[in-house]
A and B are shown apart, each in its own frame.
Chain A
Amino acid sequence: MPGTIAPPDIELILEDSRGGGGGGERPPDGGDDGDHGDFDRQRRRRPASPRRFSTAMAIAIVSILMFFMALASAFLVLHHSSHVWVAVQLPRILWVNTAVLVGSSFMLERARVRLSLGDDRGFRKLWLVTTVMGFLFVAGQLVAWRQLARQGVFIASNQASSFFYIFTGAHGVHLLGGVVALLFVGVRNFEKSQISRPLAAEITSYYWHFMDGLWIFLFALLYLGK
């Protein structure tokens, strides 16, 4: 029945130039609508559009970006105004961690390609590799913290070290959220859920790549800010 087909979402955005949204479409059943007067034009409720998940992720990413930009501008202001900036010797393992994180983004995309080809086993395997690489990155960051602590550089040592620990800590917490999302998408049964696994994987990939790019930005900031 034509009336039951949900209209494409784009139609909701464009202004309806015909002057009446939906024209004269009648709802499929008029049985118990007579009492409602004008309401007999109302359609059955559609389930909420799954597009809301990607919109929410886009907005959340902007919001998280603002959080880190505020910290980054504080870093630049303090670095610029301080005469006795004691730079942190960045542990070498950070380069390995960066490579692992970039590699995980790459694996995630390959996993999504498998998923779109319908290869469920290949997807699960690559997705698991991505998740493990995420864990490895966090573990590597903790190793970097320990190495610095062994050198006697703690969070309260000086402003540069404070920023190092705050940047890596805040990024690590956000990244752990991403790891949880990876586990969730990999393990969850999507048959009864509001979104499909490919969509969930796509939205998780936005966040994961954002975390990846954010780390590269923060690493570059710390490296060039020496």
Chain B
Amino acid sequence: MVTYDGGANQPGAPRGGFVSRYLLRSDHKIIGLGHLWLALFSVFLGMGMSLVMRIHLVWPGAHILFFSTLADTSERYATLPLLHGSLMIFFVLTAAPQLGFGNYLLPLQIGAREMAFPALNLFSFWGSVISLVGMTAAFLAAPQDGVTIWIISISIFLASALCSAINFSVTAIDMRAKGMTLPRLPLTVWAWLVNAILGMLIFSILLAACAGLLSDRFFDTHFFPAASFLASQPSNIAADPLPALWQRLFWFFAQAEVYVAMLPCFGFVSHLIATFSRKPVWRERLVVLALCAVGLVGFCVWGQHMFSSGLNPFSPLVFSVLAASLGVPAAILVVSWLATLWKARIQLNTSLLFALGFVSLFLSGGISGIFLARHGIASGAVSEDFVAGHFHLVMGVAATFAILAALFFWFPTLFGRRLNESLGRTHFWLTFAGVYCVFMPMHWMGLVSQSAKNAGAKLSFIAAWIGPARSFITAGILVTIFAQGIFLFNFLWTLLRRERVEEGNPWRATTLEWTEASPPPPGEHGNREPAVYRGAYEFGVPGVSDDFIPQHVAPDRVAKAN
């Protein structure tokens, strides 16, 4: 058969050595998997860091392997949360749902054969790798050099993420197969698209701030002067607002970064709940609007982190209203998930369990977020355990649950195998109980220590519980990390076993990635372009023999029920 382009762009089976076959392949599937492997490495490293921090908090004198050999300074301890945070935020929460699953699945779901710019994609993947190496190296370097290396690594990551954001937007806008109109896009693709546009806007802001920081370090400029510098200046220089500049630029990025991590997760959860409820997404168009609204409002709420840092007195009101108005799209999403589940014949497997766990965590974390959107409470409780509990629950853990749900769901696509269900359920329940045991007491501790500050000695008897609560949290962390060991075993064992999935579409899903072989063959597979005839969530259509109609099935080919 003669292909359209005469086979010029059909590399077919990969040739060459290891380097050209894996390291320099611009195949979106290999790059997506690469990002997922980076995320897996980072999540276990970051989890180890948090364990070290908790152990240090409960048993300050404990000797920890390897860490005991490092210089015992407060700067060293400060780099620990820094590395934990940057690994988790950048390489797990930002990279896994967007760059990992997105790179792998976006072209498959829209019927494109590649991302719009494969070479750019390869470039941004290697940028991420270099950045990860740099950040880890920064931890081991002397504090001052370490911070410089860290800023350079962040800048490299941001530049790569910008390239990816451009690639994702263009792919979703211009590379769709025939018939894949915007209303027919799966919600995952919508989420990736909105997320790419949001990322494209905010990553540049942080990149500019990093350029300022680097210029301060290398050229002795004074964009963000250190407190010691300010103290040594004559008093006629208005010194106070200067640090606020860094906070402004940073939070402009960081508050929206929360939504960068969450948006693809919203897409996953809507997608999975519809598939396992065998029902269309409730009010699909409204959900799309809500995703766009999260992106738009998320871009405008940076000031809510600066209530305590001396902004214009009116701005807290504006940001409070904006931050609270994020509740509207969030509520639409939650109602849509619950309404889709309502009276459905639910297939409760591990993937859906994790998606439901996401909904639960998102709700409990979101409720404490409403408190934080109040100016009065936030200025009191900022930087307390309450905030740590809130954002870990809603951002870190909830997003991780969505990533795990997606991993269990798309494992057949990625590897042609299925993860073990019983191990998966054990993993889910232990993790679910563990994270609630860890982060709920943190909320309580934040509130108690805050009210103790206000009410003086009256609450001292409650304060006596703080120590045991700390130990309880550390015990919770041990359980949670043990549960991740089960996951790691399940993951590796499934990969090593040679038991492959026989059926191409084990979940009976509607989207285009399930029309490919599992896993899809390497290279720009398929010289035929799928045509799309219907929306992404046609489940339980009356008068049809099957309970779902895949997107590529033409109207006259749908099997009618008798």
Contacts and interface: CB of A to CB of B under 8 A. Distances in A.
Partners in one complex: yes
Given A12-B176, A66-B205, A59 B200 contact: yes
B182 A63 contact: no
A151 interface: no
B215 A20 contact: no
Given A12-B176, A55-B170, A74-B245, A84 B529 contact: no
Determine which residue in A38, A45, A59, A84 has the highest number of CB atoms from chain B within 10 A of its CB, and name it.
A45
A74 B244 CA distance: 10
Contacts of A15: 181-184
A51 B169 CA distance: 13
B174 A156 contact: no
A44 B181 contact: no
Contact of B221 (A21, A46, A59, A166): A166
Contacts, number: 190
A77 B4 contact: no
B174 to A, nearest CB: 4
B162 A63 contact: yes
| Tier of interface size on chain B | 35 or more
B557 A38 contact: yes
Interface string A27-41: 101011000001101
A218 to B, nearest CB: 13
Contacts of B257: none
A16 B528 contact: no
Interface string A48-85: 11011001100110111011101101100110011110
A70 B302 CA distance: 13
A70 B236 CA distance: 27
A67 B253 CA distance: 12
B520 interface: no
B222 A166 contact: no
A13 B179 CA distance: 9
Given A39-B528, A41-B552, A84 B245 contact: no
A81 B531 contact: no
Contacts of B209: 70, 74
Contact of B180 (A12, A51, A52, A66): A12
Contact of B552 (A27, A38, A55, A83): A38
A51 B553 CA distance: 28
Contact of B166 (A41, A48, A63, A66): A63
A184 B62 CA distance: 61
Contacts of A22: 178-179, 531, 533
B166 A162 contact: no
B201 A62 contact: yes
A63 B219 CA distance: 25
A155 B531 contact: no
A172 to B, nearest CB: 14
Q: 3 closest pairs, A vs B, by CB? A: A21-B179, A70-B208, A162-B221
B237 to A, nearest CB: 6
A63 B534 CA distance: 34
Contact of A74 (B117, B175, B223): B223
A49 B174 contact: yes
A150 to B, nearest CB: 18
A170 interface: yes
B116 interface: yes
A46 B557 CA distance: 24
A4 to B, nearest CB: 8
Contacts of B530: 39, 42
B249 interface: yes
B166 A56 contact: yes
A26 to B, nearest CB: 10
A67 B206 CA distance: 8
